[in-house]
Structure 1
């Protein structure tokens, strides 16, 4: 299949003005395929040759202005068109394949009740898996969608849908949309509906999840309404569509997708087991993120994929900020969780060979395949961090004024980075263009380090910068009181680079924290005194966001080889059991468990690392026996299970169905325990089958696949490997679960023979099943446990010598760089 190049898109956009699509889908023709007819009305501005995209199982017919086209002319995914100047109508009828990879029209049958569901995910170039289209973002059109579905199904779409007398479902015509925003979700949905601000709102899920959606419906709708109202306070343009539906769909690859009027979410956000408040906060942030796209992305859309960061960075920033403002009664400070989890994603991506500017040069995104690689921590987390710094530097009033200019000038159209910067510049006297060049067109992470000079009660603070970007930061100056607590003396706003050192009045501070408040994007280091205070007194720092900044600095020091992994674990052991901020506990424990224990620490020190993590978990369990902090307790239970080196305690929990003192084991905890028991060789196929009978849900199937792949048995490993790479039967989610179970550090000798087999198998899989599965193979099936020079050399040879699709190549570049870093940390 040919990917669309930027040059081809520009040429086609100059030739065509697309007006309207009529899309008719018949979903009643079986489990493997569906019927698709698209009728496209458009104008050719001049005579010329072009093409329409389609990826059919069978192309039945195509007519241009009533004249038949030869179906045999379809070349890969392109049907050529020779046009005269003027109005045209193209009609294409085809049989299309359902997907099991989360691309195109994905079909899923729920093992709990046998009900089937379908939904579209048409991002970037997958609309052609569903209907014929001029598939690029700057050929917007009105869409009319009609769907024939089984009698007991409900059909959702971008506009309000109604069942017609003939049984088909018809959606209201949309405003002008890009092709990749068209969405259909059909099945026997369980729905909760309401109205807000004069519009119909709905949330939808599989019938088997109905009790869990109902339990959370009030919270989900409250968040949705609060964010909707807050955006109307921020934005001058009203919500541009006729309804707001949110469908929680199975086996979804992303977190969510911003289809206008019908946002699709992965249905793990319908929680069927206990979760922490930070997990609920994440769901709220994703709701806010996708709603922000209704304006930035849907109302105003990028012209080409080099500006995808504009969509994602803006929505990421607005998602966290708006939940912080509109839902503060439900959730703590969202920026703590952003700093601990999302921002780390950006820092890591920005230090790999695959890094790129937040706003890449258009020439660096020559086609859709290369554009797909930019959905990473830079486009999301670094971009959102840059926008947060921009708001700090510019002021929120001027920032929102510029955004509203942007919406007004480009609504229902397309815009570029240059348009965005021009519109921001129209609202301020500051040099936004210069800021953009320094922040958006460069790569890498700056590092800021404080330097204190003086004596007695007079000290000067100089911020040394390794890097090139300007920063506006808040500096926290802390003293130690007689009890040992670190007490804030002052916050000092500084611009870096400085015109002159900042004068501090008073004794030498015990701790100086640059970027206190986490308003810029940079790595941090400490002066010698502050470093000692941070290591000894982290739990005595009063503000949780400041503690997050310090923890992040320590994490970066480990990754850069400036702090020994064992020392980081020692700090965690000394301070984490006293931590009250849940996001910090979760983030630090996750780094300790998956990076330090499994990768950064020497293999012979892994048992001691796991023992330290288990000790932290036990201390948190003791601290939470009174039931006052259920989120902390749940986090501690999870950490204890994941770090268990002997099976007795967690096996007793599974047998008894509860942790002593709570909680009782729900499905998530039962599968988590069983997976760890499988790794430790303390369970078997019979126990896994019994648990699957107890929980025959889709999540249960994934849990069973993960457990079976984790069994320390040669036959189990061979069966798992065959399921992953020798057939295409696994759906995207079952593939991921199987891959997650396969590689285990405890089973290094057992799986060593598969390490050299991975690369050839992954390349063949990517060629057969496409970018989504290739990315899953590179992320989850990569032998990350094998932190050794031979594994690195093997991977580098394949990367140099083996052709592979771009999605897999990018993932392997990142994995091998992470492996290279882990080796360097281990070597000290």
Structure 2
């Protein structure tokens, strides 16, 4: 279907003033189709031609001001309209298709109990899959909605939903909404399990499918406590009160994103209803997502971007405020460490690929919705949030919040641009915020700050060399070995430095510290390089750095050096082997171990070196388990669980895994819950140490949706030609898999251990994946080019195949972007391997 261009959106916005939608949905027509009737009241400012978007199974009727329109004129999901000046009413009656890809109106049947659920995901241009609309963010309108559903269902929406009429009719009425952009309209319906309460006079509720009810009930107090605390903190820092009439949080199945900020009805992927053991960091991450989506009620929902070039106005702010508010309002005071070890690397990686872009692309750079969709990445989220954290450090929180509140007041229930926001900030500071925005938000790439130190005559000095040109307000930590315990480091001094505006040479009394750490506290977005003496200290004493956030900065520096070919992957592994067993913060272990296991062992090292890398990781994790055996607390539990997961994924023989599975526990814990059992069975499948009958038995034990995904992954992971062919046909020859089952199957399929067995499928990917993306759309394109990409083949042939595909196969925009990023990562892996080989030689 054609995508909406910026020019088309601007033209339509000049023509139309949209006032009101009345949407009526009928969810009782079976499991394939639902009824959708839409009435739109709007004004044409002058005579002109435009179009309405809709993607129906059948267009039954369309009338403009009571006059019928010809359904045959609907082409490429656009219904043309010729308008006279003045008021108009457009009515459209359709049947729509349910989706199984998380787009539009997604329908899911829970294999645990056979109950069905539906929910909408309208972002970015999928409202036309649910009801007819003028689908662009700057045509806001109020909404009234009615929904007919099976009588045992509950209906949720952006506003308070009330059952009307006899219960057997299943009729629901939603209160009139505030002005909303089309992509924020939301519905969810099904036999939900709900936990309801009230806070500050507003109804709050949590919802999940019934099979997850015990798990939601177990965590409801924690989720609601975080929700209340964040809600109250936002009211402390924002002048504008919460702008909607209710706050529902629905945990929905097979959701493509982490969550979606629909006003009054936030939808989350229901993996956040934990059915198995999780780490404290994973609970913290759920808290961050809760805070992030609540921030969107102001950043995005109250004040919305005008066009998709300003998605950072939504996502960067919600990302920053999510961490900022969670750290200040809840017990998760250390969440910035997780941001440093997990989110920032996402931004750094994206910013060093050819597909990089500014946080805020220049006007005109985002020409249509297809190109805009590609910008929802680590730059718009992690880099943008990092830039805002740096802005607060540079500007001061008081002036930052004053500018934000001014922005809300000036654009309440309207749309805004980067220029509008910068203007609001500029009214509350003497600093040149326009110049800051130009250099930080309009340019791409990562700066590098390098420390150069020396000492003479009782003084030590620091020079900061900068590759790049952004201004940075950083803290510098000076650490010494503790004379009483040389294995410990103590902070001698921490001072702030402006680079490059301030003095980039700092002279201080005393001897040179053992460790000089730039960006201590992680307040800016940059790669750092240590002076040689500090790097030597890091290799021997990283775990002795007292602050977890400082340790996170050092681990990121080591990670960057590996990726840039400056540090041998084996050296990173040795540092992990030395220091992770002493680690006390699970967020660091959860950042370092997956990088070592996936990127280093599977991609950056030559296959001949992989067994030794897996052995090193196995020894590391056993040591971590030994050292945490007598400890207690949430962090210790998280460290043990992270170690067990890595041990499972690194096993090269089945004996230990089989013993754990038979015993139902790891010695001294943790016990094997369903997720750990599936993880072990998947690794046994890779090793050829399980059978289809074992997989079927485990599925009988856990017939949940997650169990179905675990079984799909295990079957695809079997080292059997027939199993691989069946999995491939399921992935690419049929269109029945949901997005989650596709992802699970793809994750099982590609394994380094099956390099020769799967090589023919490596070649087939470059013809079959483009065809799939064309048939099934962006969500499945992302899955095919993410976990579905043939990662084990780190070689020039794979790179050549990918470049040929980009050049000749005309992949869809979504697949093109994801494939280009995969090839960029492949080139980097080849470069790292080459540098490592040269160093070894």
TM-score by length of 1: 0.99
2:280 pairs with 1:273: no
2:255 pairs with 1:252: yes
Match of 1:506 in 2: 510
Match of 1:295 in 2: 298
5 Å-filtered alignment, 1:427-826, equals: 427-482=428-483, 483-484=485-486, 485-497=488-500, 498-499=502-503, 501-626=505-630, 628=632, 629-826=636-833
Q: Deviations over 1:649-705 (max 9, x none)?
A: 011111111111112110000000000000000001000000000000000000000
Check 1:656–1:646 CA distance in 2 against 1; reply closer, same or farther (3 A cut). Answer: same
Q: Deviations over 1:53-99 (max 9, x none)?
A: 00000000000000000000101110001111000000000000000
RMSD, aligned CA = 0.7
User: How far 1:456 moved relative to its partner?
Assistant: 4.0
Match of 1:305 in 2: 308
Q: Deviations over 1:240-285 (max 9, x none)?
A: 0000000000000000000000000000000000000000000000
Bigger mean CA deviation after superposition, 164-173 or 377-386: 164-173
Question: Do the aligned residues in 1 keep the contact of 2:464 with 2:504 (CA within 8 Å)?
Answer: no
Question: Do the aligned residues in 2 keep the contact of 1:456 with 1:508 (CA within 8 Å)?
Answer: no
Helix, strand or coil at the partner of 2:93? strand
2:56 pairs with 1:56: yes
Question: Do the aligned residues in 1 keep the contact of 2:497 with 2:503 (CA within 8 Å)?
Answer: no
Distance 2:778 2:68 in 1: 34
Helix, strand or coil at the partner of 2:216? helix
Bigger mean CA deviation after superposition, 659-668 or 386-395: 659-668
Bigger mean CA deviation after superposition, 620-629 or 788-797: 620-629
Paired residue total: 826
Runs of 4+ in 1 over 4 A off after TM superposition: none
User: How far 1:602 moved relative to its partner?
Assistant: 1.2
Distance 2:333 2:363 in 1: 39
User: How far 1:624 moved relative to its partner?
Assistant: 2.0
Q: Deviations over 1:325-358 (max 9, x none)?
A: 0112xx2401000000000000000000000000
Match of 1:233 in 2: 236
Match of 2:161 in 1: 161
5 Å-filtered alignment, 1:106-505, equals: 106-166=106-166, 167=169, 168-328=171-331, 331-482=332-483, 483-484=485-486, 485-497=488-500, 498-499=502-503, 501-505=505-509
Distance 2:547 2:131 in 1: 53
Helix, strand or coil at the partner of 1:192? strand
Distance 2:669 2:357 in 1: 47
Question: Do the aligned residues in 2 keep the contact of 1:766 with 1:808 (CA within 8 Å)?
Answer: yes
Q: Gaps (5+ residues) in structure 2?
A: 836-841
Distance 1:504 1:758 in 2: 59
Helix, strand or coil at the partner of 1:513? strand
Q: Deviations over 1:205-238 (max 9, x none)?
A: 0000000000000000000000000000010000
Question: Do the aligned residues in 2 keep the contact of 1:309 with 1:380 (CA within 8 Å)?
Answer: yes
Q: Gaps (5+ residues) in structure 1?
A: none
User: How far 1:621 moved relative to its partner?
Assistant: 1.1
Distance 1:516 1:636 in 2: 27
Distance 1:505 1:32 in 2: 75
Bigger mean CA deviation after superposition, 262-271 or 534-543: 534-543
Distance 2:515 2:806 in 1: 45
TM-score by length of 2: 0.98
Distance 1:457 1:338 in 2: 39
Distance 1:593 1:441 in 2: 35
Helix, strand or coil at the partner of 2:736? coil
Distance 1:801 1:504 in 2: 60
Helix, strand or coil at the partner of 1:56? coil
Question: Do the aligned residues in 2 keep the contact of 1:141 with 1:177 (CA within 8 Å)?
Answer: yes
